[in-house]
Chains A and B, each alone.
Chain A
């Protein structure tokens, strides 16, 4: 199997799930480093299944998923988990934290599971909590935490391992537009400064508009969608890279940080 020529952070080709293609049919998608892409689709379009397939939580029936030039689809489950722990940041729509731990400890958990020491993991967690402007709640328990803080903490937990790719399922759901705008700006700026590829799954055009690029997921297929009129001018605009039926061209930012290049 040959490596995709343009070597984006995420390169999905002909993804099918399940075998009869009733949920996902020939999904082609590519996301370059520093790019934020929204997968926009109505409920039941297959967004969550696509996210789960890309994260390796579901085994696709066909197609390839290359992450950072590695054939993610060929990895055995344990290797997928280790790879995910190192290179993926995941934001779940129904984010759950452990009420027995403080916010900082919860955010540091992915690092602790990856074998990073307690002090270092906590330092990283505090850095990311500060980046999402909730450093003051670092030692707070999770009970009764407002939704806004939970969403920020979920993003901080996803970013704590300096991932190459963030898969975020409705990360701004239920937030007032002001908070969502602010988080969208922070996410875009982090993507650019860290070279992180962000793939955001949503059914809300306003949320999609906060990303640099939008692709439509309709009935299990990616269709090139128009960028919503409310779209904020992206700091580093990228050409649409998703299309129906064919591997997509990818715009990879040339201003990516050294971290990504070193990891490659």
Chain B
């Protein structure tokens, strides 16, 4: 009788939890960089998102909404981009787990935990920063600033906005690191390549590559000097 035959049972929950905890923190440097980048991007996206979710509807004028949308753009873009970069590591982890015999659903959960954790912590940090600093920031703002009335809300609204922000940013990151997004990304790239102004890219790409090479050489030289 095989070893497994004697002891086999359902996938043990304690083991799953321990394995998930081991998988959450990346050990390889590129994976660590990707995860940290995702956390910072989520924090950046959470700043305007928390304000817009906490603000009373009456305070949301056109200028205010436009301002918040513009402020959210870099963070949201960076979050989507960073999460999309984690698609490969996420699917790789899921494949490894399935190959080792994990149940498909629990493999998905375990492989997704890193994206959820880093995005969640990032968004939480961003949201908490807004909650902590909204009062002094409000005092610093000019009287007619569209942002000023948005920051004049109570503690309950901030708490609800914080929870909603974390959920929204995590869901966004999950979407951006999903196969559906990957397909969309491929389609968008194909559409971009079909556009006549992609010729610009053809000109810009070598320049960009040359700049990157130069920057790498400078970094290497600085490292050698150190």
Tell me the A residues contacting B by CB distance below 8 Å.
Answer: 81-82, 84-87, 90, 92, 94-101, 106, 109-118, 120, 124, 141, 143, 157, 161-163, 259, 262-263
A96 touches B92 (CB 8 A): yes
B1 touches A82 (CB 8 A): no
Stretch from B4-12, B121-129, B213-221 that touches the partner: B4-12
B4 touches A86 (CB 8 A): yes
In the assembled complex, B58 has its CB within 8 A of some CB on chain A: no
Chain B, 1-36, CB within 8 A of any chain A CB = 1-5, 7-12, 15, 19, 22-23, 25-28, 31
In the assembled complex, B99 has its CB within 8 A of some CB on chain A: yes
Find the residue from A96, A117, A120 having the highest chain B CB count within 10 A.
Answer: A96
A85 touches B101 (CB 8 A): yes
- Look across to chain A and name the residue whose beta carbon is closest to the beta carbon of B9: A115
B4 touches A162 (CB 8 A): yes
Interfacial chain B residues near A99, Cβ < 8 Å: 26-28, 31
- Look across to chain A and name the residue whose beta carbon is closest to the beta carbon of B22: A100
In the assembled complex, B96 has its CB within 8 A of some CB on chain A: yes
Tell me the B residues contacting A by CB distance below 8 Å.
Answer: 1-5, 7-12, 15, 19, 22-23, 25-28, 31, 92-93, 95-97, 99-103
Bound together, the chains give a CA A118 to CA B15 distance in angstroms of: 9
A114 touches B1 (CB 8 A): no
Interfacial chain A residues near B25, Cβ < 8 Å: 100
Interfacial chain B residues near A86, Cβ < 8 Å: 2, 4-5, 8
Bound together, the chains give a CA A87 to CA B4 distance in angstroms of: 8
- A259 touching B23 in the complex, CB below 8 Å, given contacts A92-B99, A96-B99, A110-B101: no
Residue from A106, A118, A263 within 8 A of B1 (CB atoms): A263
The smallest beta-carbon distance between B146 and chain A, in angstroms, is 47
B96 touches A97 (CB 8 A): yes
Find the residue from A81, A100, A157 having the highest chain B CB count within 10 A.
Answer: A100
Interfacial chain B residues near A120, Cβ < 8 Å: 3, 7
Interfacial chain A residues near B8, Cβ < 8 Å: 82, 85-86, 114-115
Interfacial chain A residues near B9, Cβ < 8 Å: 114-115
B5 touches A263 (CB 8 A): yes
The smallest beta-carbon distance between B105 and chain A, in angstroms, is 11
Bound together, the chains give a CA A163 to CA B3 distance in angstroms of: 10
Residue from A87, A94, A114 within 8 A of B7 (CB atoms): A114
Interfacial chain A residues near B10, Cβ < 8 Å: 115
- Look across to chain B and name the residue whose beta carbon is closest to the beta carbon of A82: B8
- Look across to chain A and name the residue whose beta carbon is closest to the beta carbon of B10: A115
Closest 9 CB pairs of A and B: A109-B100, A162-B2, A96-B96, A115-B9, A110-B101, A113-B101, A114-B4, A161-B4, A85-B101
Bound together, the chains give a CA A117 to CA B26 distance in angstroms of: 25
Residue from A95, A116, A161, A262 within 8 A of B99 (CB atoms): A95
The smallest beta-carbon distance between A158 and chain B, in angstroms, is 10
Residue from A97, A100, A106 within 8 A of B26 (CB atoms): A100
- Look across to chain A and name the residue whose beta carbon is closest to the beta carbon of B1: A262
If A86-B2, A106-B96, A109-B97 are given as contacts, then 15 extra A-B residue pairs at C-beta distance below 8 Å, sorted by A number, are: A81-B101, A85-B101, A100-B23, A101-B22, A110-B100, A111-B3, A112-B12, A113-B101, A115-B9, A116-B7, A117-B7, A120-B3, A124-B3, A161-B3, A162-B4
